[in-house]
């Protein structure tokens, strides 16, 4: 018998693979005991089977994933390299976790030469279809990170009124440098308020803001959002890093550049904490473990991971993000009849 998956490429970023020749990964590995029926949580069922003579059966894993959301994410990514993560801010439940290009775990689930050849082909593919880009790859977050810098400014009392002018000259030169930090085009960034700076995505305002706060306070704020440590969903996600660095690099990190690197899951956690009035919930994708008769043996209880920022300041950042979508750089995210907040972002990759 060989395992097969329905819509394998759609769900591989969530389930991982299970192969007779090459072991297993992700949920297929972490929940193997329940799926095979060997877990101690199923001891009662195994004991009952001994008396009834019934064949031992595997249990069931109920995930938090929403099928429609997962399909929409996968379809939206199309033939691009990328990922989508959607969280329920109130509970931390992962509703979508897509990564493209993807793969079908069925093609190497057995123990034949054909399975081995199929796996080798995937491993040699330059587009890395077996890489989970949502959890296991970090990227410069670019301007999406400016919401974190805004949160740090509010939390540390650097600014209070999101509609008051900031002390932000134009041009602005990076500290300990003769290099001017550039904005995209001739946008109105001189002394722009927090709301307008986020609306237009002003590099100068947020770069100076990060410099004014300093590297230590920026690290402390990112820690509250879950940076600088691995996240377990229960599948492990790589740590997102806001680095210890010098003044010019810290200014660049404050706009999502330099050595600032995050997973897509991490930036979903940032948005989620802001949407949840500052409370960051532990992301999770296993809602329930069930015995073979579908009785629950484990039900997940939502867990607070941290208080990323105060409720008052979270609501201020919410207002700023709503302005971005209403009449800023994020108008493409508008949904009729729905209040949407967001932040656009692009990042430049340096060449080594």
H helices present in the chain, as ranges = 8-15, 26-30, 32-36, 43-52, 67-77, 113-124, 146-155, 194-200, 203-213, 215-224, 247-253, 264-275, 311-327
Q: Which residues are catalytic?
A: 143
Q: In whole angstroms, give the CA distance from residue 34 to residue 15.
A: 14
- CA–CA distance from 128 to each of 82, 100, 109, 121, 124 (Å)? 11, 9, 18, 10, 8
* Element counts in the chain: helices (H) and strands (E): 13, 13
Other CB atoms within 10 Å distance of the CB of residue 323 = 17
Q: In whole angstroms, give the CA distance from residue 188 to residue 197.
A: 8
Q: In whole angstroms, give the CA distance from residue 332 to residue 168.
A: 28
User: At 61, is the secondary structure helix, strand, or coil?
Assistant: strand
Q: In whole angstroms, give the CA distance from residue 206 to residue 224.
A: 19
Q: Nearest-CA neighbor of 234 among 33, 38, 63, 67?
A: 63
By the 8 A CB rule, do 14 and 30 touch?
no
By the 8 A CB rule, do 140 and 257 touch?
yes
State the residue for tokens 């008052």. Answer: 312
> Which residues are CB-neighbours of 174 under 8 A, at least 6 positions away?
180, 181, 207, 247, 248, 251, 252
The length of the chain in residues reads: 352
């Amino acid at each position: 018998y060989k395992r097969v998956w329905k819509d394998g490429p759609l769900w591989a970023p969530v389930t991982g693979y299970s192969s007779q020749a090459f072991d297993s990964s992700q949920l297929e590995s972490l929940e193997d005991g329940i799926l095979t029926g060997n877990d101690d949580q199923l001891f009662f069922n195994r004991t009952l089977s001994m008396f009834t003579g019934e064949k031992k059966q595997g249990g069931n894993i109920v995930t938090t994933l929403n099928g429609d959301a997962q399909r929409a994410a996968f379809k939206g990514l199309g033939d691009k390299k990328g990922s989508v993560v959607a969280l329920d801010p109130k509970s931390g439940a992962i509703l979508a976790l897509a990564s493209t290009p993807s793969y079908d775990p069925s093609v190497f689930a057995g123990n034949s030469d054909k399975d081995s050849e199929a796996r080798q082909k995937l491993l040699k593919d330059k587009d890395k279809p077996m890489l989970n880009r949502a959890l296991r790859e970090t990227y410069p977050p670019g301007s999406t990170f400016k919401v974190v810098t805004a949160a740090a400014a509010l939390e540390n009392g650097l600014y209070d009124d999101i509609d008051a002018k900031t002390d932000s000259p134009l041009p602005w030169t990076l500290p300990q440098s003769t290099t001017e930090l550039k904005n995209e085009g001739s946008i109105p960034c001189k002394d722009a308020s927090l709301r307008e700076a986020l609306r237009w995505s002003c590099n100068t305002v947020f770069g100076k803001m990060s410099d004014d706060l300093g590297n230590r306070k920026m690290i402390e704020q990112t820690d509250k959002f879950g940076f600088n440590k691995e996240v377990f969903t229960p599948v492990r996600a790589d740590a997102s890093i806001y680095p210890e660095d010098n003044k010019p690099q810290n200014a660049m990190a404050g706009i999502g550049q330099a050595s600032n690197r995050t997973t897509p899951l991490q930036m979903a956690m940032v948005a989620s904490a802001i949407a949840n009035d500052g409370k960051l919930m532990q992301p999770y994708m296993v809602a329930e473990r069930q015995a073979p008769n579908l009785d629950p043996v484990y039900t997940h209880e939502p867990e607070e991971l941290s208080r990323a920022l105060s409720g008052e300041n979270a609501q201020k950042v919410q207002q700023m993000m709503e302005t971005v979508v209403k009449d800023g750089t994020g108008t493409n995210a508008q949904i009729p009849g729905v209040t949407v907040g967001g932040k656009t972002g692009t990042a430049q990759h340096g060449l080594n």
